[in-house]
Amino acid sequence: MDLKRVSNEDKLKLCQKYYQGGFFCLPFLWAVNFIWFFREAFMKPHYPEQKQIKTYIIRSAIGAVIWLAVITAWIVVFQIYRPVWQPFADYISFMIPKGIA
């Protein structure tokens, strides 16, 4: 989709949908929203809907960074404590590695 061909009102609606979609277990949409609308929000000449788009972009960036930090922390904790959690770790694992480190 080429954002140059879309009206400013439609850009705002699309940005808002991507922002709201991030709350429904799809936080990757926040990263996409930030990347896709960054130029519209911060590098284009001013237009009325731009202020709301900036708000959604900033919130999307914050949400994506927080989500990335949480996922990274979980991966680190799980990898460190997996041998200690033995049966529980195997139960919540998708793939069970063979052997002991």
CB 11 within 8 A of CB 53: yes
Mean pLDDT (the chain, rounded): 89
Q: Which pTM value belongs to this model? A: 0.80
Q: Give DSSP secondary structure letters for 12-52.
A: HHHHHHHHHHTTTT-THHHHHHHHHHHHHHHTSPP-TTHHH
Label residue 93 by pLDDT band (50, 70, 90): confident
Checking if the pLDDT of 95 tops 90, the result is no
Q: How confident is the model at residue 97 (pLDDT cuts 50, 70, 90)?
A: low
Buried b (16+ CB within 10 A) or exposed e, 17-43: ebbebbeeeebebbbebbebbeebbee
Q: What's the rounded mean pLDDT across residues 45-66? A: 94
Structure tokens at 63: 């949400």
pLDDT digits (tens, 9 = 90+) for 78-90: 989 988 988 888 7
